């Protein structure tokens, strides 16, 4: 009898479960049919391009600031640095030159290392990304001030590497290998092929992968890695992270010794030769989609007239330049006018200086957006198209995120991103960083973001019996600081990012 009742109760529970599932399924079908018959419309925001100077991180003009390290008291470092940071204006980069000549034949003292750490700490609290050079000379007399032994240079690399790595969030690029006049890898005891390669590979092994390295010429880079094949320019399987700094940029046909006068076929036999200007610029056109390139424009001549300069800066993918050298070239650009070949660009008629300023590095411009329903009750597809109008890509993978916000006139985005991210008005968000990494948004090319939108989920978050309006936002953020990357559009942004369009269900 007990077994019979148990079986009976079990059957009743099964029947009840079947009816429950059927009821839920029926409700879902009714909801889906209601949703399917809903009116779904999309209105794209207007994406007017703009020629504003955006002042985004990791690109643009850079300031220079130098320190001579010694065992003497360095209390003046703090005030001098803080005063300079306050006066440095809108630049987002600083080249720090750390002169070690007082320790050219000895190890760095604890006091010296503490000074270096303090310098990086102060600059880490500023809005600048640091380009770093360690050197023994800034007077063009490296042969007199460099260590007598390469082992001392290596020791200094090892001593400073831990400090550098501990500040990797603010140190963006390390230039050079400590040696040469101005650390520009010439006029040195240690620029023979073996010594140069030894120092460069040691630095590469010591410095955190998140920090880019750079050498003075393409020839140096090919010689260090013994190849002209860019796909092989890696160390121990790491990503390519060694770029270039050209302190003779646009200075002559050979960029003041950066290139050679002859035409070489880069190969396994001739990787260590200097190619001519067109060859080396073509090499940079490929290489510098992966690693940063910058430096100084020098010597007023035809190669830095804006018509020629604009083409070469774009082909070399230049992302940063010295704002004080060479003033003869910079002042020329302030007087010259940029004329766009197509004649209808927003950059047409700007001063050459402002044109170069806007194009250094990456520059994202929203072009269009659209929404496709495809007769699907449960989803839709949002397409957003933008373009990188800068000379270079970003060498940082920014956070890319989409927000869909339920419109409510009584609620507006808050001033705080963290608060905005938790706002109950957000009905959907998606992190697009891995699917669409910003470092792949190459200059001159359109980037198409194709995003699946779960309409059923969004509709359920609203009132299913009423018309609901939703605003769509796209935000690109620096991973380290959380700063919003500004777009080259005549549009405002809030904590959710840039307004892309509105969805009506």
**CATH number of the domain to which 478 belongs:** 2.60.40
Task: Return the sign of the alpha-carbon dihedral for residues 82, 95, 126, 203.
Answer: negative
User: In the prediction, which pLDDT does 413 show?
Assistant: 40
Indicate the pTM of the whole model. 0.89
**Mean pLDDT to the nearest integer, 487-493:** 94
pLDDT per position as a tens digit, 391-424: 999 999 999 999 999 986 433 343 333 334 445 5
pLDDT at 40: 86
Span 298-322, mean pLDDT?
98
- Is 484 inside a domain boundary? yes
42 and 18 in a common domain: no
CB contact set of 349 (below 8 Å; sequence gap of 6+) = 337, 338, 339
Q: What's the chain's average pLDDT?
A: 88
Token pair in block for residue 388: 């990188």
* Domain boundary pick from 309, 330, 360: 360
Report how far residue 477's alpha carbon sits from residue 44's, in angstroms, rounded to the nearest whole number. 22
Same domain, 322 and 371: no
In sequence order, the 6+-apart residues with CB closer than 8 A to the CB of 8 are none
Q: DSSP assignment, residue 298? A: -
pLDDT on residue 236: 59
Distance between CA atoms of 273 and 358, rounded to whole angstroms?
A: 34
State the pLDDT confidence band at 29, using cuts at 50, 70 and 90. Answer: very low
Count of other CB atoms within 10 angstroms of residue 261: 10
Query: Does 270 map to a domain?
Result: yes
pLDDT at position 11 over 80: no
Same domain flag for 372 and 486:
yes
Looking at the structure, do residues 329 and 374 belong to the same domain, yes or no?
Answer: no
Within a domain: 405: yes
Question: Which region among 25-29, 413-417, 440-444, 464-468 has the lowest average model confidence (pLDDT)?
Answer: 413-417
Q: Which residues of 220-230 are buried (b: 16+ CB within 10 A; e: fewer)?
A: bbbbbbebbeb
76 contact partners, CB below 8 Å, separation of at least 6? none
* 416 and 446, same domain (yes or no): yes
* Residue whose pair of structure tokens reads 């320019």 in the numeric block: 233
Instruction: Please give the average per-residue pLDDT across 9-27, as a whole number.
Output: 55
Residues 417, 341 share a domain: no
Instruction: Please say which residue of 300, 326, 360 terminates a domain.
Output: 360
The answer to whether residues 13 and 469 touch, using CB atoms and an 8 Å cutoff, is no
Residue 367 and residue 498 in one domain: yes
Cα gap 439→461, rounded to integer Å: 34
Element containing residue 119 per DSSP (H, E) = helix 110-124
Q: Are 136 and 99 within 8 A, CB to CB?
A: yes
Most confident stretch, 312-326, 363-377, 414-428: 312-326
Residue 372 makes CB contacts below 8 A (sequence gap 6+) with 380, 381, 383
β-bridge mates for residue 449, sequence order: 384
Lowest mean pLDDT among 13-17, 228-232, 403-407: 13-17
The closest alpha carbon to 116, from 150, 43, 165, 153, belongs to 165
Residue 432 lies in a domain: yes
* Banded model confidence at residue 85, pLDDT cuts 50, 70, 90: confident
Confidence of residue 45 (pLDDT cuts 50, 70, 90): very high
Q: What pLDDT is recorded for position 84? A: 84
Q: How would residue 376 be classed by pLDDT, with cut points 50, 70 and 90?
A: low
Which residues, 6 or more positions from 196, have their beta carbon under 8 angstroms from its beta carbon? 177, 185, 190, 220, 223, 224
Answer yes or no: is 66 within a domain. Answer: no
Residue 204 forms part of a structural domain:
no
Do residues 375 and 485 both lie within one domain? yes
Q: Note if the bond before 326 is cis, omega within 30 degrees.
A: yes
The angle, 0 to 180 degrees and rounded to 10, between the axes of the packed helices 110-124 and 150-166 is 40
Q: What is the mean pLDDT of residues 219-223?
A: 96
Under a CB-based contact definition with an 8 Å cutoff, are residues 130 and 97 in contact?
no
| Residue (of 71, 73, 68, 139) closest to 100 by Cα position | 68
Q: What are phi and psi of 184, to 5 degrees?
A: -95, 15
Q: Write down the pLDDT at residue 26.
A: 47
Q: Tell me the average pLDDT across 293-313.
A: 98
Total domains present in the chain:
3
Query: CB neighbours of 28 closer than 8 A, spacing ≥ 6?
Result: none
Residues 388 and 486 in one domain: yes
Residues paired with 139 in a beta bridge: none
Domain of residue 311: give its range.
249-360
Q: Kindly state whether residues 368 and 480 are assigned to the same domain.
A: yes
Name the domain boundary from 311, 333, 360: 360
Residue 7 resides in a domain: yes
- Asked whether residue 382 falls in the same domain as residue 488, the answer is yes
> Based on the domain organization, do 322 and 390 belong to the same domain?
no
Among 74-83, 194-203, 461-470, which range has the highest average pLDDT?
194-203
Contacts of 181 (CB under 8 A, 6+ apart): 137, 140, 141, 142, 187, 188
Closest alpha carbon to 62 in 272, 401, 295: 295
- Mean pLDDT in residue range 277-292: 96
Q: Is 63 within a domain? A: no
């Amino acid at each position: 009898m007990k077994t019979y009742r148990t079986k009976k109760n079990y059957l009743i529970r099964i029947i009840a479960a079947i009816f429950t599932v059927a009821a839920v399924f029926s409700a879902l079908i009714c909801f889906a049919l209601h949703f399917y018959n809903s009116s779904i419309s999309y209105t794209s925001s207007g994406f007017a391009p703009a020629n504003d100077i955006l002042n985004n991180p990791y690109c643009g003009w850079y300031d220079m600031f130098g320190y001579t390290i010694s065992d003497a008291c360095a209390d003046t470092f703090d005030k001098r640095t803080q005063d300079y940071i306050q006066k440095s204006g809108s630049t987002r980069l600083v080249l720090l030159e750390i002169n070690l000549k007082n320790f050219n034949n000895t190890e760095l003292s604890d006091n010296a290392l503490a000074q270096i750490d303090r310098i990086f700490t102060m600059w880490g609290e500023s809005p600048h990304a640091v380009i770093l050079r360690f050197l023994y000379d800034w007077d063009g007399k490296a042969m007199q001030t460099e260590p007598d032994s390469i082992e001392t240079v290596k020791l200094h690399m090892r001593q400073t590497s831990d400090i550098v790595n501990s500040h990797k969030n603010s140190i963006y690029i390390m230039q050079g290998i400590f040696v040469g006049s101005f650390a520009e890898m010439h006029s040195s005891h240690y620029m023979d092929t073996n010594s140069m390669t030894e120092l460069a590979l040691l630095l590469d092994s010591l410095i955190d992968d998140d920090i880019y390295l750079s050498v003075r010429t393409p020839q140096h880079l090919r010689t260090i890695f013994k190849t002209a094949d860019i796909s092989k320019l890696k160390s121990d399987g790491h990503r390519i992270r060694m770029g270039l700094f050209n302190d003779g940029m646009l200075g002559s046909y050979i960029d003041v010794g950066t290139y050679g006068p002859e035409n070489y076929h880069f190969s396994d036999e001739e990787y260590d030769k200097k190619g001519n200007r067109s060859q080396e610029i073509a090499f940079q056109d490929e290489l510098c989609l992966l690693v940063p390139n910058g430096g100084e424009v020098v010597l007023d001549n035809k190669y830095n007239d804006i018509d020629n300069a604009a083409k070469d800066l774009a082909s070399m993918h230049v992302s940063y330049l010295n704002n004080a050298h060479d003033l003869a070239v910079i002042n020329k650009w302030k007087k010259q006018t940029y004329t766009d070949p197509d004649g209808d660009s927003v950059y047409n008629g700007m001063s050459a200086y402002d044109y170069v300023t806007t194009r250094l590095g990456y520059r994202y411009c929203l072009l269009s957006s659209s929404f496709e329903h495809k007769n699907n009750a449960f989803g839709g597809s949002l397409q957003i198209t933008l373009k990188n109008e800068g000379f270079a890509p970003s060498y940082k993978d920014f956070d890319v995120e989409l927000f869909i916000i339920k419109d409510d006139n009584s609620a507006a985005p808050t001033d705080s991103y963290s608060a905005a991210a938790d706002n109950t008005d957000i009905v959907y968000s998606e992190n697009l960083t891995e699917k669409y990494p910003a470092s792949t948004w190459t200059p001159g090319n359109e980037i198409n973001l194709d995003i699946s939108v779960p309409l059923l989920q969004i509709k359920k978050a609203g009132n299913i019996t009423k018309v609901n309006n939703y605003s769509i936002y796209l935000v690109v953020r620096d991973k380290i600081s959380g700063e919003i990357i500004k777009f080259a559009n005549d549009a405002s942004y809030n904590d959710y990012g840039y307004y892309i369009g509105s969805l009506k269900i």
